[in-house]
Structure 1
């Protein structure tokens, strides 16, 4: 592959996709030129200001407004709002010359081939030969865009289909044409993976490519089944959300967010563009879709869709749902299927899916009808849309946020068993599936020697999934590589004398079993290995300590047990810090409370860009006591420089804990001093564990030396406490905080001041840990703290009391 770097990118079109694609390139440090059309007429505001169509502010109005809307939107498209400065705004009439400085030009204009061709005429005029060009189209065949283009353009052109929102959805479909150079295809696949953090999937130039073809089919199939079975909106969203490893927005809420018009347009286009598809009629709109579309109830963009937000007579917010019998909005339906209640108790997703698909109630019937139809459809799409089955799973998972793709789900339920049930329901799969099973191969995937293999239809054998050779897939280590395990954690040998500790409690909460796991992992690593990675492949690193156990001890007034529990947690965190081997925390998703404390005490944090880190104990009436408060005093002390107003920096750290501030990205965690210069980033979630392992080996090979316990932490005693007290009193009198908030804040301030000291001095880590523990223990005896914990545990809601 030619040595090529991307320093500057041009994005043509600043709509919802274009502006957010621009933001994501800014996220990774790339300069961006974002251009859009010039307005044809003035707004009333512009007329009032005496502006003309020739004024730059008017000519750039569309791009300016679109980009500002994007920057302010939620979820945020930028890791750090300061990175908006990396984006230069302009228009397609005056500023196309700027693309001559760009290494990659991405077209994201309206889905109209004639308009795209006009834009490409301008691109041809200004682009530097040899630079990349791509289109983000989702509906126009890529090869149709080559008409009239130069040979250099054709060689460097490709479809690069991002999914919205580009920062969060991991799919990037790469769609070459017959004219695209292989080097260019290889570069897009590599760059998207390593730098944009994407699952890059090589697609054929077929209608809707892979993800939308399968995803929209699955959605429309579900709509037909809902109509046939007479199910309700809320029932379906309960059945198709997190319970089966899909996003919380499930089916109808997703359609509201995306926009029903968008879904309908894709479905209509697929129906028109697929005359030979054996399941073409599934793309026809069922009445429960057509009726809302005709009424223009398209979801969030029209303020009503399958759901509608309103308020009752008392001003309380209500979320109503459409009744498919009357098409009026009614209160939400709460399903009561016995199978789903039991399934919630099954932690393992694959086991849960198997249980649900074997259920004898209406929920089981719904799962069988929708899943088996999807399995049939996917099997028939090979080799039409993909030659290999893993590409379908990768695309759907990365594009729609599914935890398991269709073939992975089929494996979980049982391939052979399902085939007979599919036949009974007139949903026979493709012949190659029968051939696979008859040859003695009863799964689409299997693991060997730490690698995940897929069934290759052409060779009738299993092959390593391309691009995963360098990854660490913990599922593949579950055979012969388990060194130790208990109910809360598993320790793997991941090769090269490195161990990996995975938690598998609910939300990866840290309780007694996980604490045992951490200590065992360090002891085994110190004896026989080069180092330890603590991480997983789940949604979150760890949501914190096990509150349920704490609540049980506190309500029973077992304060000795609580004291012992805190002491063990602190000792374990200090063992992480002061072990004789390097320990790397591989963080992604939530790293909260105890999960944050564990990260802070590791030698290095290898952070996925989407790491949401914070010390959040204040919200449940406590302070961080697993070394978190101590660590932030220590880190703040290390920031002090000659001439600093030191108390200001301490106040900032205090407020981060007192407001339970959580970073919205790994980059923001830097500003909170949770992530430091010694730590490292990974953009692609799939690479996180491999990068963490490399960091362990790098530290070991550099001659890792165990740190020395700190005795030099500067604290300010009564001076700091006076500052904290003034702020707390002001907030209390202003009714910004409650009396109980003030009590917790005073406890926190006391620890961060270093206790009742008459003047600034230096103290040890052990000294601060003792203060931490005493403060935490005293708060567990407070009734209002217990009320806060109870509310979070049993209602899932924070309580302010």
Structure 2
């Protein structure tokens, strides 16, 4: 049967429930969010003379929870106006409304007795055939549906979102004893296509897949830190970005999540997995027990493994917990020779061979840590899943690991991993030895652009399901390469569409990237139908190569700098005025030049998690790759009859002047960086390149015509320039901006006004580009601009001078 989800009910409005409600609102679904009725009045309600029968009082818990969620940072919602899709209520007055929804999601407290009462009440009002799921993180699914009707059990299972629901991609689906296959298939597809998740069907075992492996990994570190005499700073250094894990690494992550949350899951595994060969590992070390007793739970109690402190001089500092004395001390810098050896290795996956061969304490740590992990995950099959790729998917999507355990094992080498394990006293599961004995040297292989995994029952490599909607650049890069230089790889995506993938550090845009982009356009215009600019790194692009700009400016090579800026501008104009459709596929940080490139494409296919903006003010310049021109042009295109045109222009000016960066792609529509009716947003980043390719192909098939260069950009001249100058004078006088900010803002105002023309005039894009380049170059001669660029290069954050 075909299912369409138009409305969901979320039962329970705590942090998790409100987060799930917001994410369904993010994708356009109507949400009914319900919670219990308060048992007593609070002080404010008493002062107002309200009673427990008052509707405001009865909905207080749900409304307060949702309000808190919407105010939290990072925000659970793509755009605040999307909150209008959520209706709140309570479980006494409004429970009958669940009859009208397509899916009921229970997110109440983790107690089986309470959940069973909730399900009993819901079944009285639920329409037969309606999906009903629990977001439990550990209670066996089979127990929750006991005593319910056949229809209820058929449509019931676990759907475990990870917190925060908007940002973490893992969506575990846990079947009950009688869940229908149709329901599981639907949820698997819906999670991936609509919710933007990595859907993983798990077995009904304690903590399912993600938490079972993730908590093991953390508990293993808790025991290892004492055994090896490591500090928490050293462990966080070893388990952070160097191995493709989040910056918060281990101990900072626990502080953010809450030590009590981790202990709750660990205790659940210890209580319910008595046959686990590493059962002892889930017992809490003494320092964790003490921290729990002291309520040092992390961010929620203002101290955990780290503690923010204000010194006698008023400066804020972060203290670290000494695990031997359990006293806070100044943070210690951690460094290891083995880590230094990986600094020149850009790809995380290529670092593991170096890390496990280290001769220092870091090398010993990785051998111990990874050996324990490899042994544990191999022994969890078939207990928690039959398929090894599901464990990798769960760890990447739920815990932010760049590579899953079996991918890391492949990177080290399967035989090398077994050798390491045996040296540490572990033995792999028998199926691993069967695999190597059969001649299979790896858990994964790539064939014809698709990933295959070792299927244990079949004893052969089988294609990982669900890839047909994706294009995985790592899989096609070698076989589909059309052109390559030090800055880009150009790949043939098939169907006449090329892709330009940046390969520079943090995907910065320098001369080699621009040369590659222009070459890709040349090739596409000659032999292909369209061009996508996209990659699958952490971020689309953090902007222009400011190091190159800094060196030219310091050396006062202004002619070369002028040529470099003109080359950037000309490349952006080629994106817009080529003979083939160009599609930009931004995601993550898309700043400065990355934003300018996106704005000059024929169409943008943005991931929902795109943080895009023109941030050049932070390094003392204005957008010089066409961004200042483009905002003036977009303001001109927005002018309507009887508009106060100055106000429209001012809004576009402030987008640059305040270095606004959207917190989602949807927010970028507000600043006109993304354009409604032209640019689109995809929720699942994994589908982005495939979607961009489809749009390029469609535009080509519809008869794409090379655009005619614009000569009709309306600029307002002195009228606008006067407004900008008065405004910036007032801002500096009020101490809102510095003297140098004032200078930069006036330069930007001059460009966006079209200079000091005596009256509104229609000008060409090239006219504005010339003004933009002149202003950019003049700012590069300023000492304070060079100070800002140098500070950004050294510290990675803007300087206000």
Partners of 2:462 and 2:287 in 1: CA distance: 43
Q: Which residue of 2 aligns with 1:441?
A: 440
Task: Report what 2:21 is aligned to.
Answer: 22
- What is aligned with 1:114? 113
Deviation at 1:540, TM superposition (A): 0.5
Structure 2 unaligned residues grouped into runs of 5+: none
What is the rounded CA distance, in whole Å, between the counterparts of 1:789 and 1:288 in structure 2?
45
Maintained 8 Å contact 1:41/1:53: yes
Query: Is structure 2 residue 756 aligned with structure 1 residue 756?
Result: yes
Residue aligning to 1:353: 352
Contact 1:223/1:288 (CA < 8 Å) preserved in 2?
no
Aligned 8 A contact 2:591 2:612 in 1: yes
Comparing 472-481 and 595-604, the one that deviates more: 472-481
Shift of 1:113: 0.9
Structure 2 residue 689 is matched with structure 1 residue 689: yes
| 1:738 alignment counterpart | 738
Superposition pairs of residues 400-411 of structure 1, within 5 angstroms:
400-411=399-410
Contact 2:540–2:590 (CA under 8 A) maintained in structure 1:
yes
Q: Is residue 143 from structure 1 mapped to residue 131 from structure 2 by the alignment?
A: no
Cα distance per residue 1:348-399 (max 9 Å; x no partner): 1111222112111111111111111111100111111111100000011000
What does the per-residue CA deviation read over 1:98-138, in whole Å, with 9 as the maximum and x for residues that have no partner? 11111111000001111111111111111111111000001
Q: How does 1:265-664 map to 2 (within 5 A)?
A: 265-664=264-663
Indicate if the aligned counterparts of 1:235 and 1:335 stay in contact, CA closer than 8 A: yes
Deviation at 1:763, TM superposition (A): 0.4
Write the deviation string for residues 288-331 of structure 1: whole angstroms up to 9, x where unpaired.
Answer: 32221222111111111001001111111110010112111101
Distance across 1 between alignment mates of 2:314 and 2:320: 18
For residues 415 and 505 of structure 1, the distance between their equivalents in structure 2, rounded to whole angstroms, comes to 31
Task: Report how far residue 586 of structure 1 moved.
Answer: 0.9
- TM-superposed deviation, 1:239: 1.2
CA contact 1:715–1:752 (8 Å) conserved in 2 = yes
CA contact (8 A) 2:371 2:421 kept: yes
Question: How many Å separate the matches in 2 of 1:146 and 1:797?
Answer: 52
Q: CA deviation at 1:452?
A: 1.1
Which 5+ residue runs of structure 1 have no aligned equivalent? none
In 2, are the aligned partners of 1:606 and 1:692 still within 8 Å (CA)? yes
Name the stretch that deviates more: 526-535 or 283-292: 283-292
Q: CA deviation at 1:609?
A: 0.3
CA distance in 2, matches of 1:227, 1:494: 50
SS in 1 for 2:428: coil
What are the residue-to-residue correspondences of 1:154-303 with 2, within 5 Å? Answer: 154-303=153-302
- Secondary structure of residue in 2 paired with 1:706: coil
Q: How many residue pairs align between the two structures?
A: 800
Q: Secondary structure at the match of 2:168?
A: coil
Q: Is the 8 A contact 1:500 1:534 kept in 2?
A: yes
Does the Cα contact within 8 Å between 2:287 and 2:326 map onto a contact in 1?
no
Residue in structure 2 matched with residue 765 of structure 1 by the alignment: 765
TM-score by length of 1: 0.99
Distance 1:441 1:516 in 2: 42
Partner-residue secondary structure (3-state), 1:126: coil
For residues 773-792 of structure 1, what are the structure 2 equivalents within 5 Å?
773-792=773-792
Cα distance in 2 between the residues matched to 1:287 and 1:466: 44
Partners of 1:66 and 1:97 in 2: how far apart? 22
Q: 1:57: how far off?
A: 1.2
- C-alpha contact (below 8 Å) 1:621/1:741 kept by paired residues: yes
1:40 maps to which residue?
Answer: 39
Q: Distance in 2 between matches of 1:591 and 1:164?
A: 25
- Which stretch has the larger CA shift, 193-202 or 335-344? 335-344
Contact 1:21 1:166 in 2 (8 A): yes
Deviations 1:637-660 (A, max 9, x none): 111110100110100000010010
Query: What is the distance in 2 between the residues matched to 1:780 and 1:427?
Result: 60
Counterpart Cα distance in 2 of 1:753 and 1:36 = 54
Give the Cα–Cα distance (whole angstroms) in 2 for the partners of residues 362 and 195 of structure 1.
45
Q: Distance in 2 between matches of 1:373 and 1:244?
A: 16
Q: 1:238 touches 1:250 (CA, 8 Å); kept in 2? A: yes
> Conserved in 1, the CA contact under 8 Å of 2:96 and 2:125?
yes
SS at match of 1:469: helix
Q: Which moved more, 1:350-359 or 1:512-521?
A: 350-359
1:725-782 Cα deviation digits (max 9, x unpaired): 1110110100000110000000000000001200001100110010010000001110
* Local SS of the residue matching 1:714: strand
Per-residue displacement from partner, 1:567-596 (whole Å, max 9, x unpaired)?
110111111111111111111101100000
CA displacement at 1:178 relative to structure 2: 2.6
